[in-house]
């Protein structure tokens, strides 16, 4: 498996921006790999399903799926099967992103199935309480992202530091091996450093890099203080 659990880690979610689709997705993945190689920071990318195979074949950094459905192989037209994303090179997956919420029972099912496939699970949460519930399911990472700050340019690590600190403390009371990521509004070196100073193991981000005028420069800047 491509190394993904080493921290600090930057997980770059491509979402469905045109700036991170198709050829541009591959270019962004290669930029991420270049920055990872030159800085030594662990960087993982999360492209759309249609780009997973090509990107996982052409870069050596970890590649995750944006979501998988709580279905088994069979008659589930239009669903995303965990085994299918693994077959095309994904080493893990996001679960319960604020833009693709899941029922608790389905999150629980998929965390177990992801672990059984020897893949990595990243459960996204929106507050301390849901982070605690997520941690009891024993994922590899919990990513705290207050939805009102996503894409706002206002970093949660500075706007709501008590949420990050509280999440870290609460999760580590359950299991110190669960990594905590900070998301929403992260885009600069100061944001990244603030997240680490609050006890997180890395960041989950998207638009701050993808929509930047120069994504490579923005990514270098993000990790420059680590």
For residue 72, what is the domain's CATH number?
3.20.20.70
Name, in order, each residue with C-beta under 8 angstroms of 63's C-beta and a sequence gap of 6 or more: 2, 29, 44, 45, 46, 47, 52, 55, 56, 89, 90, 91
Six-digit token string for 226: 């680590």
Is residue 2 assigned to a domain?
no
Asked if residue 1 is part of any domain, the answer here is no
Give dist(CA 129, CA 133) in Å, integer. 6
Residue 92 belongs to a domain: yes
Sheet holding 92-95, edge to edge: 42-46, 9-13, 202-205, 179-183, 141-144, 120-125, 92-95, 64-65
pLDDT band at 159 (very low <50, low <70, confident <90, very high): low
Containing domain of residue 141, as a range?
Answer: 9-222
3-state secondary structure (DSSP) of residue 149: helix
- pLDDT for 51: 98
Would you say residue 156 has pLDDT above 70? no
Please state the rounded mean pLDDT for residues 150-164. 65
Residue 157: per-residue pLDDT: 62
Is 3 part of a structural domain of the chain?
Answer: no
Q: Could you give the number of structural domains in the chain?
A: 1
What share of the chain has pLDDT > 90, as a percent?
Answer: 74
- Please indicate, yes or no, if residue 165 is contained in any of the structural domains: yes
Tell whether the model's pLDDT for residue 154 goes beyond 70: no
Mean pLDDT of 29-46: 97
Q: Evaluate whether residue 122 is within a structural domain.
A: yes
Report whether pLDDT(90) > 60: yes
Q: Pick the catalytic residue from 34, 38, 97, 172.
A: 97
Tokens of 34: 């270049």
Q: What average pLDDT score do residues 207-220 get?
A: 94
Mean pLDDT across the chain: 91
In the residue annotation, 3 being an active-site residue is answered as: no
pLDDT at 1: 46
* Number of Cβ within a 10 Å radius of residue 115: 15
**What is the predicted pLDDT for the residue at 153?**
61
Supply the DSSP symbol for 215. Answer: H
User: 214 lies in a domain?
Assistant: yes
User: Which residue in the list 33, 34, 129, 145 is annotated as catalytic?
Assistant: 145
Number of neighbouring beta carbons within 10 Å of residue 97: 24
Residue 73 has pLDDT above 90, yes or no: yes
Q: Which stretch of 7-21, 80-94, 179-193 has the lowest confidence by average pLDDT?
A: 179-193
pTM of the model: 0.93
What was the pLDDT predicted at 151?
56
- Compute the average pLDDT of residues 93-108: 96
Q: What is the pLDDT of residue 140?
A: 97
38 is catalytic: no
Tell me whether strands 179-183 and 202-205 are parallel, antiparallel or unpaired: parallel
Contacts of 159 (CB under 8 A, 6+ apart): 149, 185
38 phi and psi angles, rounded to 5 deg: -80, -25
pLDDT category of residue 186 using cuts at 50, 70 and 90? confident
Residue 112, pLDDT score = 98
Q: Looking at residues 185-204, what average pLDDT do you find?
A: 87
Establish if 62 belongs to a structural domain. Answer: yes
What mean pLDDT do residues 140-151 have? 76
Quote the tokens at residue 10. Answer: 């930057």
pLDDT confidence of residue 160: 66
């Amino acid at each position: 498996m491509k190394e993904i659990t080493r921290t600090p880690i930057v997980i770059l979610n491509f979402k469905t921006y045109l700036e991170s689709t198709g050829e541009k997705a591959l270019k962004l993945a290669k930029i991420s790999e270049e920055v990872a190689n030159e800085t030594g920071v662990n960087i993982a990318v999360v492209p759309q399903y249609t780009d997973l195979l090509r990107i996982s074949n052409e870069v050596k950094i970890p590649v995750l799926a944006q979501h998988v459905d709580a279905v088994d192989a069979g008659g589930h037209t239009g669903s995303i099967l965990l085994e299918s994303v693994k077959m095309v090179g994904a080493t893990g997956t996001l679960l319960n992103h604020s833009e693709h919420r899941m029922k608790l029972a389905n999150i629980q099912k998929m965390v177990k199935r992801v672990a059984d496939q020897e893949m990595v699970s990243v459960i996204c949460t929106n507050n301390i309480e849901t982070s605690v519930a997520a941690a009891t399911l024993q994922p590899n990472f919990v990513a705290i992202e207050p939805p009102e700050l996503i894409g706002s340019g206002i970093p949660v690590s500075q706007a709501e530091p008590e949420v990050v600190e509280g999440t870290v403390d609460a999760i580590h009371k359950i299991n110190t091996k669960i990594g905590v990521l900070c998301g929403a509004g992260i885009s600069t070196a100061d944001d990244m450093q603030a997240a680490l100073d609050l006890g997180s193991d890395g960041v989950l981000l998207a638009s701050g890099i993808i929509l930047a005028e120069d994504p490579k420069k923005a990514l270098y800047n993000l990790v420059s203080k680590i």
